[in-house]
Structure 1
Amino acid sequence: MLNETHHWIEGNGGDRMYATIDGNATKKDSRYLAITNAYLPGEDSVAERMREAFEKILEGRAADIGFMYDSVEAHPATPLTPEEIRIVLPKIRGDATWLRVETILQSILDTTIAPSRSRRMWLNQIVASEDAVYSPADWDVLRDDALVLQPGDEIVLGFDGGLRDDSTCLAALRVSDGYASILGLWEKPDGPAGKDWEVPRAQVDSAVHEAFSTFNVQGMYADVALWESYISEWSAQYGESLTVKAPGKDAIGWDMRTSLKASTMAHERLARSVLDRKIAHDGDRRLRRHVLNARRRSNNFGLSFGKESRESPRKVDAYAALMLAHEALVDLRARGKRTRRRTGRGYFL
């Protein structure tokens, strides 16, 4: 039995304890059970590692080794009000009937206790660390399973490319309702499979061409770093058909390195749309992971974003691609007149 694994971190030797227990259980061909409250994201606790391992299995990025993860969590939008807590808490506590609702409610309403801690402790919600741009509640509430991206839809595209370590992402936003989708995400595999790995550029190139042939693309903003030649070719082929053009030297290139102010303002506009619930998504776990990995980065122009650290394996490239797609959508709505795709057909009276 592993108890309160959200406290098992590197600083107290919890990670080494877990590795020892796992090794001994393997030798005995036995199993172990871990129970815990919701962890604090970013602490790299054993509980956090277990959750991330489970999500990798769900995404298909890791082998299913018979890992079972069971968690009853309150809805992300649950308010910390007496009326709601009295309804929700009995459902979250399950058969732990010794937990008195009124006593817990007093703790939740105690202003000396951070609301984020109350949510982790009593509602079992994974609440973002203090420097995270978004909490899971901010993002999860935007999920709409009724929406689907259809061929022929008017969309804008955002692209952020890597080479070896960083991920590469092609993101789309539907013009009519701001519905976000990932059209392609290429990530370095974990373990030995990641050795000498490079982004499959031919696959990325094909995904871009497929997007233009499948949808009515009104604009595409692509960060040019490491992908200059491809972006130049995409711009030459599709640039004339786009309603909005990137502010760079061609119709698609949007160099995030050239203007910290422009990137900061673009991020703030996307953040406002997310927090105001002006966009929606399909619950894609890969996009969710990248969005929640984004950390606050202040500068002279406002609030931008970045990874935990330069070498962090927690990538944010899909979020960057979403930001560029959103910036194209903002520009389209502000000054663009949408164009209709040419069919090649003519009509005579």
Structure 2
Amino acid sequence: MPWRPSVAGELPTLGWGVLDWMTDILAAPDRPEYEPFVPTREQGEFILRFYELDPVTGKRLRRRAVLSRPRGWGKSPLLAAIACAEALGPVLFADWDDDGQPVGKPWCEVRTPLVQIAAVSEKQTQNSWVPLLEMLREGPARDEYPGLEVLDTFVNLPRGRIEPITSSPASVKGNKPVFAVLDQSEEWVRSNGGLKMAKTMRINAAKIGGSTIESPNAFTPGDGSVAEESAAYWAQIQEGRARDDGLYYDHREAPAATDPADRESLVAGLRVAYGDSSDHPDGCVLHDPPCEPGWSPIDRLVADFYDPSNDVQTLRADFLNQVTHAADAWVSAPDWAGVAATAKRIEPKDTIVLGFDGSRRRSHAVTDATALVGCRVSDGHLFLLGCWEQPDGALGKNWQVPTTEVLATVDEAFATYRVVGMYADPAKWESHVATWEARYGKRLRVKATVQHPIEWWMVGGRAVQIVRALEKFRSAITDEELTHDGSSALTRHILNCRRRMSRSGLQIAKEHPESANKIDAAVAAVLAWQARVDAVSKGLGKSNRAAPGGGRVIVLR
């Protein structure tokens, strides 16, 4: 019988059967006496999503997942429980029942299961390995599964094996795990072999239709960790630059406006980050009615923030789960998120200025991006009109910027809005910038120079002006003078910027010249903001102040 949904938009899932199996078979770890393992509602929601099925074929939809939560939330016991279920429980589709709901079966009915708990150090593997041993030793598992041997260094299944691994990529190559945990993937980097090991393990699982789950805390941008790469892949999926091929990305952090210096704000941020595990007496903030208080000590965490011997930046990552910034980052993620205003709308005929940074095909590495950013003069709201980037993989081979599309987007912006200024870095686009100047120069109220109203070089002999423009933009973020539309591409480019000192002052650049992490939309935003500053100095835009939430956004791609 085919699957029948009970709620519109719902997908079939084996998660309900997995949850029942966990509660019946596994013991809660770290208890003086036996208690069944009962996931929180929030954890249960993750399991339901992870085990979603194709409603026609019954095939599992998730080949990999990322579960990102703060330290102490309960990732390790949850992943230990999922590892046990993958080893013994009903995690594969068998059939539909009389009500059209999926019925599961264990891996052992298909093949000998191998389950791995992986980390880049032995100490890290203990995070999930120790609770896994307790779950199987203290509960009914050994009675229900004759032949189950729970040893300190591995678990013999009636058929198959669970093992912790910290070995090199070469030594795990060829293994065929049905499931693997990649624990603390924010620490899996090139220098410790983590990047290659993650790729090897995913390939191993793919050979037999297995799956993996990463369990990072907030990563540090620029480290090049597995967690950072997974976040970038998810961003590509959201932007339509990569196919959604089975990744379930579940990351939650405290709101960007959380102020560690304000107790009320900090407590509210911690409650969001910790969700159902928060021990706040008012219960969780995720569900209505709220779940009962959990185990994560909110007051104790607040005290850590107020301890002057602790680094607040580290606490933000560990306890608020906020992806902040690299040591040389120009703008931090919380600062940029703090000025997002996704409810604002840009109306046709609004008075705006434009910023443009272009590129062409390069002979080496990855082609730079081309970006066009608008800024409403009345309130300083930035919005992305277009960002053209080289796709990853085979689709990006021999890719060139679609010049015709870019030119059409610029023309459309001038036709749609009241454009009073446009600053463009003309590098590699000199002829097109000259055309724009000839076509639109006379109507512009804000001009870079009298001879060249649009041309605004970001290189060469204008170092002092560039430094000042960057300072104005950075101060506008800090002082909350600007807002932005929340565009993922613009956000990514802003956060990719790295500080670089020059003789004239602070400038920005990519992490290295051939980096695939582009900053062109950030440069376009800086140019748009400089044009807006110049427009305001001329008294423009005062009568065209748009109210938040009204109208619509026109996004040209």
TMscore range, shorter length: over 0.9
For 2:458, the equivalent position in structure 1 comes to 256
Q: Distance in 2 between matches of 1:189 and 1:328?
A: 30
Residue 44 of structure 1 deviates from its aligned partner by 0.8
Query: Relative to structure 2, which stretch is displaced further, 241-250 or 84-93?
Result: 84-93
Instruction: Measure how far apart 1:275 and its partner are.
Output: 1.2
Counterpart of 2:493 in structure 1 is 290
Query: Which stretch shifts more, 79-88 or 32-41?
Result: 79-88
Is residue 244–residue 336 contact of structure 1 (8 Å, CA) maintained in 2? no
- Residue 49 of structure 1: aligned partner: 229
* Match for residue 92 of structure 1 among 261, 266, 273: 273
Contact preservation (8 Å) 1:248, 1:254: no
Q: Is the 8 A contact 1:169 1:186 kept in 2?
A: yes
> Residues 89 and 332 (structure 1 numbering): CA distance in 2 closer, same or farther, change over 3 Å?
closer
How far the C-alpha of 1:310 sits from its partner, in A, is 0.7
Match of 1:303 in 2: 506
Instruction: Kindly report which structure 2 residues correspond to 1:14-33, keeping only aligned pairs within 5 A, or say none.
Output: 14-33=194-213
Q: 1:334 to 1:87 in 2, by over 3 A?
A: closer
- Where 1:298 maps in the other structure, the secondary structure is strand
- Alignment of 1:156 onto 2:353: yes
Cα distance, 1:291 vs. partner? 0.7
How much has 1:132 moved relative to structure 2? Answer: 0.7
Residues 106 and 152 of structure 1: is their aligned pair in 2 closer, same or farther, counting only changes over 3 Å? same
Distance 1:21 1:305 in 2: 37
Per-residue CA distance 1:68-123 (angstroms, 9 max, x = gap): 01122100111114443334324422344443233333332222322111000001
- TM-score normalised by the chain length of structure 1: 0.93
Task: Judge conservation of contact 2:352–2:417 (CA < 8 Å) in 1.
Answer: yes
- In 1, distance between residues paired with 2:477 and 2:202? 40
Name the counterpart of 1:237: 439
- Residue 393 of structure 2 is matched in structure 1 by 191
Supply the AA of the counterpart residue of 2:270.
L
Structure 2 counterpart of 1:99, one-letter code: S
Q: TM-score if structure 2 supplies the norm length?
A: 0.59
Number of residues paired by the alignment?
A: 340
Counterpart among 246, 259, 262 of residue 66 in structure 1? 246
CA distance in 2, matches of 1:333, 1:190: 40
Task: Indicate if the aligned counterparts of 2:377 and 2:541 stay in contact, CA closer than 8 A.
Answer: no
Matched residue, 2:189:
9
**Residue in 2 aligned with 1:119?**
316
Name the Cα RMSD after superposition: 1.8
Aligned: 1:131 with 2:341? no
Distance 1:37 1:291 in 2: 22
SS at match of 1:32: strand
Residues of 2 paired with 1:289 and 1:105: CA distance?
30
Counterpart of 1:178? 380
Q: Quick one: distance in 2 between partners of 1:177 and 1:316?
A: 24
Q: Which amino acid aligns with 1:171?
A: V
Contact 2:350 2:376 in 1 (8 A): yes
Provide structure 2 residue ranges, at least 5 long, that are not aligned to the other structure. 1-180, 278-293, 362-366, 544-557
Q: Any idea what SS the aligned residue of 2:235 has?
A: helix
Classify 1:264/1:248 alpha carbon distance in 2 versus 1 (closer, same or farther; 3 Å): farther
- What's the % identity of the aligned pairs? 39
User: 1:50 is matched by which residue type in structure 2?
Assistant: S
Uncovered stretches (5+) of structure 1, i.e. residues with no partner: 341-349
Q: Does 1:166 align with 2:368?
A: yes
Larger relative CO (CA 8 A, sep 6+): 1 or 2?
A: 1
